[in-house]
Amino acid sequence: MRSYARIIGRRLLHMLPIVLLATFLIFGLMQLVPGDVALTLAGDYATPELVEQIRQYYHLDQPFVVQYGQWLWNALHGDLGRSFLSQEEVTVSIMRTLPKTMLIGVMSILIALAIGMPIGMTAALRRGSWIDSMVTAISSLGVALPSFWLAMLLASFFALSLNWFPATGAGEPITVNFADAVWHSVLPAIAVASSSVAEIARQVRSAMIGIMGKQYIRTLHAKGLTPAKIVWQHGLKNMAVTILTLIGLLISGTLGATVVVEAIFAIPGIGSMIANAAVSKDFPIIQGVVLVMVLIVIGVNLVVDLLCITFDPRLRRS
């Protein structure tokens, strides 16, 4: 139990500088990107005086460090501010968009695991066979296949031609109508999952091959265990750490992958929100989303680490 507490404590301590550094870096980077949100806000036919007034109104005329300090101070008090562009509260925006993206992310990982695990294991167990070659080929294809292209293909076939799924939109919020939200997320989730499937299949294949070559597996064979029992009970258990680590990485990666897919399916998720905000330099939104993303990634890593030491007690010592 002590090791769990130590890991959590250490992670929380690490979290603070990471959050500070990430938000500071993003804020700084946005300053370097050419562009001025005040120009956008001033609208058509704006006079320089109006642009200047708007700059003052939003404190954009203050030094960068002062602006960042102000944001941080407010954030520490639970106030992430309002979007420059739409005036909506950032926390409200995030609460609305994040569940949509999370749903796609979670569904895509489930799909990826459901497909990637079996084919990866089959390839490992039939190493060198035609199945193995095919899985390797499909994996390379999946990684190479751009998700936006697959997304468009899925939309035009399954939504427009067959009319099985909606072509655009996220449907009702997940809390209002779960089935509707899931139904709207199927195609986007498949599009996002394509590269994850390949990743999982490849990793599972090599992990499985590694495990099956271990001496204890030979011992199990010698003990007379059925191959199925060896794979499912002993092989899989030893692969848990690999798979968990992989899932952790995939969750972080999926958050990025949804940006493009959300645009194609017109899903008002957090990906399209940050893409819009980045283009128009809507600082409060960008900072808020970065903060939440960092927290999610740290949180996921923490959970993965805790699960890993549960499955593999050897890790507790390190």
Q: Using alpha carbons, list the distances in angstroms from residue 263 to 103, 271, 288.
A: 16, 8, 20
Nearest-Å Rg of the Cα atoms of the chain is 24
Residue span binding another protein (CB under 8 A) among the ranges 22-30, 70-78, 152-160, 296-304? 152-160
CB atoms within 10 A of CB 155: 21
Angstrom distance (rounded) from CA 150 to CA 169: 17
Q: Token match 């092989």: residue?
A: 235
- Which one of residues 15, 106, 143, 159 is an interface residue with another protein (CB under 8 A)? 159
Residue of the chain from 163, 175, 215, 318 that contacts another protein (CB under 8 A): 163
Interface with another protein, residue 177, by CB under 8 A? no
Q: Nearer to another protein by C-beta: 83 or 122?
A: 83
Residue 54 CB, shortest distance to another protein, in Å, is 6
DSSP code, position 145: S
Q: What angle do CA 230, 231, 233 make, to 5 degrees?
A: 70
DSSP 233-257: IIIHHHHHHHHHHHHHHHHHHHHHH
One of 22, 26, 60, 93 touching another protein (CB under 8 A)? 93
Is the CB of 105 or the CB of 166 nearer to another protein?
166
267-306: contacts with another protein (CB under 8 A): 268, 272-273, 276, 279
Beta carbon of residue 24, minimum distance to another protein (angstroms, whole number): 25
Q: Rounded to an integer, what distance in angstroms lies between the CA atom of residue 309 and that of residue 79?
A: 36
Q: 12-51 mask for another protein (x: CB under 8 A)?
A: ----------------------xxx--xxxxxxxxxx-x-
- In terms of CB distance, is 143 or 159 closer to another protein? 159
Structure tokens at 277: 């905000």
Give the span between the Cα atoms of 291 and 100, in whole angstroms.
18
Q: Under the criterion CB under 8 A, does residue 57 sit at the interface with another protein?
A: yes
Residue 309 and residue 3 in contact, taking contact as beta carbons nearer than 8 Å: yes
Q: How far is the CB of 289 from another protein (least distance, A)?
A: 13
Q: Any contact of residue 174 with another protein (CB under 8 A)?
A: no
Task: Give me the residues that bind another protein (CB under 8 A), please.
Answer: 34-36, 39-48, 50, 53-54, 57, 83, 85-88, 93, 96-97, 152, 155-156, 159-160, 163, 166-170, 263-266, 268, 272-273, 276, 279
